[in-house]
C-alpha cells in the first residue's frame, strides 16, 4: 500500500506541472477519498473494464491509465500547460468516490458529483476546471442529465475521452486484440 501510494504520488509529480496542484491531489487521495479507493477493482462486475483494471489496486491502475491518456490527448485538444496539468490531476482523482462514501460493493451512480463536491470543498474552489472535469467525466452517462449532448470544456473533454479509452476492453485484451495481433 505504501509502495503503491508512493508510486501514484511520483506519477502525480511527473505529470502535473504545478506543485500546489500536486499537493492537493496527494491530500485528496491520501486523506479525503475513502481508503478503499487504493485497493478496489475498477469494476465490481468485471464487465466494463480491461483485465489490468480488475483485482487488488485495479481502480488505481485505471486512474493512472486515465491520467496517462490525458497526457497524450492534450495534443489532440490543444491544451495549454496549465490545462494539461488540470486534466492529469482530474484523471487521477475522478473515481475517488466510485464506491460511494462509505464505500460499497457496487458503483455509486453519483460518484463523479460526490468527488467533484469533495474536491471543491477540500481545495476551496481553487481549481474549478479540475472540479468540472471530475463532474463531467461521465459525459453522456451523467445520472443527472443522461444523454445530454456534449458541450464540455477542452479539459473536461480530455478527461472524459481518456476515461473512455482507458475503460475499453478491446485494445487491451479479448477477441479483438488477439485478432489484431494475428493480422
Ligand atoms: Fe474512470
pLDDT mean over 30-46: 94
Distance 183 CA to ligand 1 centre (A): 31
pLDDT at 146 over 80: yes
Distance 83 CA to ligand 1 centre (A): 19
Highest mean pLDDT among 44-58, 119-133, 135-149: 119-133
Q: Which residues contact 45 (CB under 8 A, 6 or more apart)?
A: none
CATH fold, domain 2-182, is Hypothetical protein af1432 (1.10.3210)
Distance 69 CA to ligand 1 centre (A): 12
Report the distance separating Cα 42 and Cα 53, nearest Å: 5
- For residue 148, the model assigns a pLDDT of 74
Distance 39 CA to ligand 1 centre (A): 15
Residue with cell 483485482: 55
- Burial of 117 per CB tally in 10 Å (0-12, 13-18, 19+): middle
Distance 106 CA to ligand 1 centre (A): 14
Confidence of residue 46 (pLDDT cuts 50, 70, 90): confident
- For residue 63, the model assigns a pLDDT of 98
Distance 94 CA to ligand 1 centre (A): 6
Distance 95 CA to ligand 1 centre (A): 5
Per-domain boundaries in the chain: 2-182
pLDDT mean over 40-52: 87
Q: What is the DSSP string of the chain?
A: -HHHHHHHHHHHHHH-S-HHHHHHHHHIIIIIS-GGGGT--S-SSSSSS-GGGSSTTHHHHHHHHHHHHHHHHHHHTT--HHHHHHHHHHHHHTTTTTTTTTT-SS--TTHHHHHHHHHHHHHTTS-HHHHHHHHTTTGGG-SSSTTPPP---HHHHHHHHHHHHHH-STTTSSHHHHHHHH-
- For residue 176, the model assigns a pLDDT of 72
- In the chain, the percentage of residues whose pLDDT exceeds 90 is 81
Per the structure block, which three cell numbers stand in for 147?
Answer: 444523454
Distance 73 CA to ligand 1 centre (A): 16
- For residue 30, the model assigns a pLDDT of 98
Report the distance separating Cα 53 and Cα 62, nearest Å: 5
Distance 163 CA to ligand 1 centre (A): 5
**Higher pLDDT, residue 145 or 33:** 33
- For residue 170, the model assigns a pLDDT of 78
Using a cut of 0.85, tell me whether the model's pTM lies above it.
yes
Amino acid at each position: 500500500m505504501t509502495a503503491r501510494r508512493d508510486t501514484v504520488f511520483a506519477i502525480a509529480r511527473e505529470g502535473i506541472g504545478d506543485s500546489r496542484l500536486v499537493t492537493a491531489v496527494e491530500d485528496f487521495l491520501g486523506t479525503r477519498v475513502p481508503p478503499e479507493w487504493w485497493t478496489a477493482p475498477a469494476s465490481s462486475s468485471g464487465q466494463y473494464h480491461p483485465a489490468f483494471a480488475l483485482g487488488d489496486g485495479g481502480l488505481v491502475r485505471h486512474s493512472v491509465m486515465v491520467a496517462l491518456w490525458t497526457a497524450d490527448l492534450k495534443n489532440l485538444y490543444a491544451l495549454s500547460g496549465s490545462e494539461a496539468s488540470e486534466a492529469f490531476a482530474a484523471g487521477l482523482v475522478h473515481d475517488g468516490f466510485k464506491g460511494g462514501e462509505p464505500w460499497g460493493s457496487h458503483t455509486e451512480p453519483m460518484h463523479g458529483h460526490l468527488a467533484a463536491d469533495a474536491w471543491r470543498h477540500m481545495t476551496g474552489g481553487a481549481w474549478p476546471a479540475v472540479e468540472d472535469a471530475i463532474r463531467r467525466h461521465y459525459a453522456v452517462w451523467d445520472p443527472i442529465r443522461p444523454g445530454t449532448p456534449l458541450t464540455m470544456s477542452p479539459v473536461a473533454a480530455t478527461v472524459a475521452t481518456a476515461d473512455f479509452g482507458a475503460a475499453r476492453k478491446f485494445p487491451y485484451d479479448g477477441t479483438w486484440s488477439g485478432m489484431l495481433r494475428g493480422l
